[in-house]
Amino acid sequence: MRFPLAATSAILAVVLALAQVQSRGFQFPNFTISDQSELILSDNSSIALGAIQVTPDVRGASMENRAGRTLYRRPFRLWSKEGKKANFNTTFVLNVQNMTASSGEGLAFILTADPHVPGGSDGQWLGIVNSRLNGTTDAKTVAIEFDTRKSFPEDLDDNHIGLDINSVYSKRSVSLNDRGIYISAAKDIKVVVQYDSKNLVVFVGDDMKNPVLSEPLDLSAYLPEKVYVGFSGSTSNNTQLNCVKSWQFNISEVKDSKSRTVWILVAVGSVLILLISIGIGIAFFLYRKRGYEGNRVENTHPNIEEAILGFSTAPKKFKFQELSKATGKFNPKNKLGKGGFGTVYKGILGKKEVAVKRVSKKSTQGKQEFIAEVTTIGHIHHRNLVKLIGWCHEKREYLLVYEYLPNGSLDKYIFWDEKSGTQEETLSWGKRLSVISGVAQALDYLHNGCMNRVLHRDIKASNVMLDLDFTAKLGDFGLARTIIHNEQTHHSTKELAGTPGYMAPESILTGRATAETDVYAFGVLVLEVACGRKPGGQAERDDYICNIVNGLWELYRRGTILEGADPRLNGIFIEEEMECVLILGLACCHPNPKNRPSMKTVLQVLTGEAPPPEVPAERPAFTWPPMPPSFNEWDNSLVGGQLSPFSGLSGR
């Protein structure tokens, strides 16, 4: 009785599913770091402050003359050889803010064959094409541009949208001035694009009745069957923040009719086979009576855990033999450095260069450190964190495998090495700013962006690694701890963690790490990078000549803080930026933890969204327990948040 019924409904379901025009797509109501896995972010693009930053979001030299692209990771099918064509709808919210008196250059929604940014597509090219591809069929890119600068005579004005086909010279462009919409006014602008396979219609703003642009268009004439969708943007000497705050995209599925018949045949065939096997299965079941089902389930999933681990981005478990071979049996020639808990070697796994840390067998803390690293950063990924690729624990050996960063650690570039009497070429101010911003993003992510808050506890120049393009990556999580719910899981550890000179005054008293102690160490790092000098000893003990925080505070009191800037920069920096960064560093090093800004505020200051926090002219004395903040600029998220172990404490 049941069989024919089940069969009919199964066949019906399959046929219905195939007959329906299926649509696919995605929805990002906002952007968080975890969305990175679904996107292709080019070098100059990032996710920050809840949005896609198509071009860099940090003020200064690093913003100028950039091109970037952010695309959805999976390409979509636009058309088929049989003449079937997809239709799509997309809605996104842009927010563009000028960073120079006149903004530049613009951003665009693009459909493209190639996810890579064309070289030299900064400036007037909007990341769409470069001078070689412009006007050629090789470009294979169709764009809807939001142009904020009149960069060549044919360009309409400095506030228009345009339809660009394999070129930055628009096929049609429309000024937004008449509608009272100004692209670079730092306002959210909603854009709806509808393409029904014959016409392209674009709405900008809240008016969904009168499209700004409506053009007949057959994308299959210019684009390959499969394309990437997303955004491109650029800056020139005129800069702006090119943000996309939300984005949804739906596209109908293109299916060949021939293949659809084949699919229906295959589907009907499969249903028949399924029915027959069910019949056999039931007969078998009746025959064997019991035990069958349980075994089968277990056999098809021999090790669920293994399957999950193998599938996700979890660090890989390596064999000791593999790592020994990769490093030439831990050949001293391959030694990259020596840390507190072990030695780091360069190795080659497959074709990939890696850094392998062998935890010293003598160190009892080494084992703890090993566990801390695997559990805290093993599952966290961020472009400003050194990636842990794998680990190995065999007998008494504990090893960690990291991505290899050819440029080594930051300290080499900002300090004079007394031992060898040498220094790598010093970093320009633009690079230093982007290093500071990179570390700030990493730390904000650890404090506010992960499921559980992670404290790094050992932020310092030698723990910041530099990639080939000098992207800063925070490493060495040996002292890191995860905070779960309202408790610090390790807060009772008596060991004094950290490095002298980077430790907040209260941590010496309490021996405890908090988000505020991380912020303090970050402040010291900021000052080091700007001043090009080592932190010196403890702030409470040393006078201002020996200690960077005291020294700079003194300069600040005298109103000559710029004298603190690294002399090796030869004065090549923007004074306001230097001053802002130095004051931000001092604010982070406030002796009273409650007066330090949160990493969120730090990021806002670095992007120019917020002014630097107020800092008292005299360095306040360290008192314990901390006094409530004496000015209004502090961020109450730290005090109201889960990490405020101070409130219930009294001093000793």
Ligand X SMILES: *[C@@H]1O[C@H](CO)[C@@H](O)[C@H](O)[C@H]1NC(C)=O
Annotated binding site for ATP: 357
Judge whether 175 and 157 are in contact, CB under 8 Å: yes
Cβ nearer to ligand X, comparing 327 with 607: 607
Q: Where are the beta strands (DSSP E) in 459-498?
A: 464-466, 472-474, 481-484, 487-488
Binding track, positions 265-304, relative to ligand X; x by CB under 6 A: ----------------------------------------
Q: In terms of CB distance, is 199 or 343 closer to ligand X?
A: 199
Residue 252 contacts ligand X per CB under 6 A: yes
> Which is nearer to ligand X, 248 or 642 (by Cβ)?
248
Indicate the angle between helix axes 599-606 and 429-444, nearest 10 degrees. 150
Interface segment toward ligand X; rule CB under 6 A; list 244-252, 327-335, 419-427, 569-577: 244-252
Q: Is cis: bond before 302, omega within 30 of 0? A: no
Between CA 460 and CA 521 the distance in angstroms is 7
| Interacting residue with ligand X among 1, 5, 16, 101 (CB under 6 A) | 101
Q: Which token pair is 229?
A: 């969708």
Does 135 contact ligand X by CB under 6 A? yes
C-alpha 375, offset from chain centre: 20
Beta bridge mates, 455: 481
First to last CA, the chain: 81
Candidate segments 24-32, 308-316, 505-513, 637-645, binder of ligand X by CB under 6 A: 24-32
Report if residue 625 touches ligand X, rule: CB under 6 A.
Answer: no
| SS3 category, 233 | strand
Name, in order, each residue with C-beta under 8 angstroms of 256's C-beta and a sequence gap of 6 or more.
80, 81, 82, 84
| Among 514, 512, 511, 475, CA closest to 376 | 475
CB 200 within 8 A of CB 213: yes
Show contacts with ligand X in window 493-532 (CB under 6 A). Answer: none
Shortest CA distance to 535 belongs to which of 578, 573, 585?
585
CA 609/CA 600 separation, integer angstroms = 11
d(CA 555, CA 583): 11
SS3 sequence, 407-441? Answer: CCECHHHHCCECCCCECCCCCCHHHHHHHHHHHHH
In sequence order, the 6+-apart residues with CB closer than 8 A to the CB of 550 are: 539, 542, 543, 544, 619
Strands 388-394 and 316-317: parallel
Place of tokens 């219609």: 201
Q: For ligand X, which is the closer residue by CB, 169 or 415?
A: 169
Q: Does 23 bind ligand X (CB under 6 A)?
A: yes
* Closest separation in Å from C-beta 476 to ligand X: 28
Please tell me the number of Cα atoms within 13 Å of 377 on its side-chain side.
32
CB–CB of 114/140 below 8 Å?
A: yes
Interface residue with ligand X among 46, 65, 173, 598 (CB under 6 A) is: 65
Position among 194, 363, 604, 644 found at the interface with ligand X (CB under 6 A): 194
Query: Which residue among 53, 70, 134, 409 contacts ligand X (CB under 6 A)?
Result: 134
Q: Please, what is the minimum distance in Å from the beta carbon of residue 608 to ligand X?
A: 8
Is residue 458 among the annotated active site residues?
yes
Provide the minimum distance between the beta carbon of 135 and ligand X in the complex, in angstroms, as a whole number.
3
Contact between 403 and 386 (Cβ < 8 Å): yes
Instruction: Please count the residues of this chain forming the interface with ligand X, following the rule CB under 6 A.
Output: 34
Residue 157, token pair as written in the block: 């004005």
Annotated binding site: 357
Residue 244: CB minimum distance to ligand X, A = 14
> Among 31, 107, 104, 93, which residue's Cα sits nearest to residue 63?
104
Cα separation, 434 vs 417, whole angstroms: 23
Of the pair 91, 407, the CB lying nearest ligand X is at 91
What would the x/- binding string for ligand X be over residues 76 to 95, using CB under 6 A?
A: -----------xxxxx----
Question: Please, what is the minimum distance in Å from the beta carbon of residue 167 to ligand X?
Answer: 3
Residue closer to ligand X, measured from CB, 120 or 408: 120
Please report, as residue ranges, which positions from 204 to 243 form the binding site for ligand X (by CB under 6 A).
237
Q: Is 43 in the site for ligand X (CB under 6 A)?
A: yes
Least spacing, CB of residue 140 vs ligand X, in Å: 14
Of 639, 379, 398, the C-alpha closest to 389 is 379
Give yes or no for a contact between 433 and 58, defined as CB atoms under 8 angstroms apart.
yes
Residue 587 corresponds to which tokens in the numbers above? 């604010």
**Nearest distance from residue 37's CB to ligand X, in Å?**
14
| Smallest gap from residue 40 Cβ to ligand X (A) | 11
Min dist CB 124 to ligand X, Å, is 8
CB of 484 to ligand X, least distance (A): 21
Comparison of 237 and 623: residue with beta carbon closer to ligand X: 237
Choosing from 458, 476, 566, 635, which is the catalytic residue? 458
Backbone angles phi, psi at 241, to 5 degrees: -90, 120
x/- map, 151-170, ligand X, by CB under 6 A: ----------------x-x-
The pattern of x and - marking residues 377 through 416 that bind ligand X according to CB under 6 A reads ----------------------------------------
Nearest residue to 40 via CA among 211, 228, 220, 212: 228
Exactly one of 33, 42, 499, 551 binds ligand X (CB under 6 A); which one? 42
Q: Which is nearer to ligand X, 110 or 117 (CB)?
A: 117
Binding mask 104-133 for ligand X (x = CB under 6 A): -------------x-x--x--------x--
Q: Which stretch binds ligand X (CB under 6 A): 64-72, 278-286, 562-570, 609-617?
A: 64-72
Give 203 or 413: the residue with its C-beta nearer to ligand X. Answer: 203
Q: Strand pairing partners for 23?
A: 252
**Positions marked catalytic:** 458
State the residues that interact with ligand X by CB under 6 A: 23, 25, 29-30, 42-44, 50, 65-67, 87-91, 98-101, 117, 119, 122, 131, 134-135, 167, 169, 194, 237, 248, 250-252
